[in-house]
Amino acid sequence: MDVRPTAIAGLLELRPTPHRDHRGFFSRTFDLAAGLEAGIDGRDFVQDSLSRSAYGVLRGLHVRTGAGENKLVRCSSGRVYDVVVDLRPGSATYRHWLSFDLDGDLQNSIYVPAGCAHGFQALTDPADTAYRIDREHAPGEDLTIAWDDPELAIDWPLPVTAMSEADRAAAPLSASAEGLARIAPA
């Protein structure tokens, strides 16, 4: 498994090598030894979740306040345009974002460190996105940032076909000072 650092400290892309033959493929989606070498302790994951999205659906931008949460995200089937925004006070890349094409055929994944917001848009119908999270869900620590915040100027690839009402009503960074103040520093 190839683990690649990114321009945002702690945000990693993991690229396995799927073994392909006439039946399809087999891929290791996480390897504890490779993870530990890259600073990811896979023994910390306590929850696995899966979302299924139709073409054009946008989910996010979500971040956990307080101690935050680390998560490993991959598109297990289909493709998504995945975005991570660094919201950690004191980080050299504070309020910067990066995007990734997560692809079910490649089985690549990203490790999103605590304090970074995450969202994605489905590029296929359907797109299944799998998450491994190191903390149990605590609804009182959820913060959603507007997906179309002009300060971030994220270039989403498709018109949005659907999103949750909570995501649609999310405030931009400029109106989220109270929630952002609860994010642990880098």
C-alpha to C-alpha distance for 178 and 50, rounded to whole angstroms: 30
Range of the domain at 56: 44-180
**pTM here?**
0.95
52 lies in a domain? yes
158 lies in a domain? yes
pLDDT band at 186 (very low <50, low <70, confident <90, very high): confident
Q: Is the pLDDT of residue 36 over 90?
A: yes
Q: Model confidence over 59-114: pLDDT tens digits? A: 999 999 999 999 999 999 999 999 999 999 999 999 999 999 999 999 999 999 99
Residues 164-181 have a mean pLDDT of 96
27 lies in a domain? no
162 lies in a domain? yes
Residue with tokens 């490790």: 111
Q: Model confidence over 121-167: pLDDT tens digits? A: 999 999 999 999 999 999 999 999 999 999 999 999 999 999 999 99
* Number of domains into which the chain is organized: 1
Active site residue 55: no
Dihedral sign (CA 144, 150, 156, 160): positive
Residue tagged active-site, from 81, 111, 118, 131: 131
164 lies in a domain? yes
Active site residue 137: no
Instruction: Give the residue among 13, 33, 22, 186 at the shortest CA–CA distance from 115.
Output: 186
Residue tagged active-site, from 55, 62, 94, 96: 62
Q: Do 68 and 115 contact (CB within 8 A), yes or no? A: yes
69 lies in a domain? yes
28 lies in a domain? no
Q: Which helix (H) or strand (E) holds 170?
A: none
CATH number at residue 93: 2.60.120.10
| Sheet of 79-86, strand order | 97-103, 79-86, 116-122, 58-64, 142-144
Question: What is the pairing mode between strands 71-77 and 2-5?
Answer: unpaired
Q: Do 74 and 108 contact (CB within 8 A), yes or no? A: yes
31 lies in a domain? no
